[in-house]
């Protein structure tokens, strides 16, 4: 067999093995949620903000939290702003809907350490990132053991998070490997999954996450592998 062809096969096998390992390791971080009873006929994805030690009001259909694992740096600030813009544009505020829909709402929360001076602050991503509550985020991340990744992280429970109560029935979506330009799509995937309702959160989500991890792996390393293979020939 020609030398270049042997190198190609070795590289192809190596990339395939790395992809499988990448998926398996990633899957170990994903927690299952137990199926519950019957919920509403449909759920509504919404967003809201958390202040002080509040983790969400009782009576909602589900509680989702958008978590940053560290403060932004000059190199990552644009990513944080992209996350914020996607958060604002992808869902309406919870208050936009009538009170009668409260039990149908799956709310994704943005934790804040300070209350806004005006409602316009809640539309200003620079202000929202600057006033993000990293302490509250760290509390939740420590509970789910995800504070070691670059993030951001999306996690959801059927009930409000309570650090004093053990509740391991949650689902997690790690956005660490999503490129900056893909953040909006990642949040859209999360929104589409959470509105299935807590009783069906795990249904099909493992397949979706595995597919996305493989897609991100190929996007990140595909050109490098291709260049190595063609160069070997």
Same domain? 163 vs 222: no
Residues 106 and 155 in one domain: yes
Q: Are residues 148 and 77 in the same domain?
A: yes
Structural domain of 3: 1-32+202-233
Same domain membership, residue 182 and residue 210:
no
pLDDT tens, residue by residue, 72-105: 999 999 999 999 999 999 999 999 999 999 999 9
Lowest mean pLDDT: which of 57-66, 148-157, 206-215? 206-215
User: What strands lie across the sheet with 153-157, from one edge to the other?
Assistant: 92-93, 44-51, 105-112, 62-67, 153-157, 170-174
Q: Do 170 and 98 sit in the same domain of this protein?
A: yes
Looking at the fold, whether 97 and 51 belong to one and the same domain comes out as: yes
Q: Could you report the per-residue pLDDT of 113-141, keeping only the tens digit for each? A: 988 888 889 999 999 999 999 999 999 99
Assess whether 158 and 180 both reside in one domain.
Answer: yes
What pLDDT score does 10 carry? 43
| 193 and 210 in a common domain | no
- Total number of domains in the chain: 2
Query: Is residue 114 domain-shared with residue 169, that is, in the same domain?
Result: yes
**Residue 63 pLDDT greater than 80, yes or no:** yes
Question: Do 231 and 161 share a domain, yes or no?
Answer: no
pTM comes to: 0.73
| The pLDDT value given to residue 143 | 92
Q: What is residue 201's predicted lDDT score, i.e. its pLDDT?
A: 66
| HSE of 136, CA atoms in CB hemisphere, 13 A | 22
CA distance 150 to 175: 8
Token pair 């650090």 is found at: 163
In the predicted model, what is the mean pLDDT of residues 172-196? Answer: 89
Is a pLDDT exceeding 80 seen at residue 176? yes
High-pLDDT (> 90) share of the chain, %:
42
Read off the pLDDT of residues 187-206 as tens digits, 9 standing for 90 and up: 998 988 888 877 766 654 44
pLDDT for 38 equals: 59
How far is the C-alpha of 229 from the C-alpha of 97, rounded, in Å?
A: 55
For the stretch 11-57, pLDDT in tens is 444 444 444 444 444 444 444 434 444 566 788 999 999 987 789 88
């Amino acid at each position: 067999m020609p030398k270049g062809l042997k190198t190609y096969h070795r590289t192809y096998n190596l990339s395939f093995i790395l992809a499988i390992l990448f998926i398996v390791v990633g899957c170990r971080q994903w927690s299952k949620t137990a199926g519950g009873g019957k919920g509403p006929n449909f759920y509504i994805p919404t967003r809201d903000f958390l202040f002080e030690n509040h983790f969400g009001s009782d009576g909602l259909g589900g509680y989702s939290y958008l978590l940053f694992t560290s403060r932004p740096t000059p190199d990552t600030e644009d990513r944080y702003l992209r996350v914020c813009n996607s958060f604002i544009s992808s869902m309406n505020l919870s208050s936009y809907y009538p009170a009668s829909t409260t039990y149908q709402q799956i709310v994704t929360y943005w934790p804040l350490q300070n209350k806004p001076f005006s409602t316009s602050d809640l539309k200003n991503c620079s202000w929202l990132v600057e006033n993000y509550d990293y302490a509250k985020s760290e509390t939740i991340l420590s509970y789910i053991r995800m504070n070691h990744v670059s993030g951001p992280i999306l996690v959801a429970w059927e009930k409000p998070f309570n650090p004093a109560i053990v509740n391991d029935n949650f689902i997690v979506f790690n956005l660490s490997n999503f490129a900056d330009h893909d953040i909006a799509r990642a949040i859209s995937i999360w929104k589409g999954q959470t509105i299935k309702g807590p009783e069906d959160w795990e249904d099909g989500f493992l397949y979706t996450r595995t597919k996305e991890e493989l897609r991100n792996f190929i996007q990140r390393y595909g050109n490098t592998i291709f260049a190595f293979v063609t160069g070997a020939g």
